[in-house]
Copies of this chain bind each other. A is one copy, B any other.
């Protein structure tokens, strides 16, 4: 039946437009912030019409949500895969931090959108996206394992994960914007160093960190 091919083609086109729009929205929201951005700008930046934009997203808020959903999903997946490679929890942490840093360095507009929202997610406000929730859960699991293995200090894993999440964001922003660090590798090591200080037991901190062990 021809309907199937038709349907698939439509699916594909819709998907294509959604991605086009998300890329555009990312840039526009990063530049002006969500509220100051107009749908017309998003459409123009995407190179499509308002009507097409509305044919793939029901409203402005949905574009914003989808942006977080999509980028968040990719973000999560990236970190997830980083976690799967490694076994010792300290190495896993290092890989996760590196993945975190690399992703945001590669997606500076998304990072700016994130920063603009402030730390609303930290207080569990309604607007906090599911992706954030899942991200926090991911880190919570990792940290719980570290505590269990007596590598990380004994504290509430959720609080620690939330703290680490914010710490990475803030420090990344500080390094990139305030400082003049540009090399992703060095940024990742500095952020990882900060994170380790936050979570590792003191005696673990004295040992050679994973990123130096790697080089060796």
Contact = CB atoms under 8 A, between A and B. Distances in A.
Nearest 9 pairs of A and B residues by beta carbon: A166-B170, A162-B174, A122-B173, A116-B118, A35-B35, A122-B177, A118-B118, A124-B177, A115-B119
Interface string A170-204: 11011101110000000000000010011000100
7 contacts: A116-B120, A122-B173, A156-B178, A158-B178, A163-B170, A163-B194, A166-B173
A116 B115 CA distance: 10
A174 B162 CA distance: 6
Nearest to A127: B33
Tell me what chain A mostly uses at the interface: helix, strand, loop, or mixed. Answer: helix
A44 to B, nearest CB: 14
Nearest to A160: B174
A106 interface: no
B122 A116 contact: no
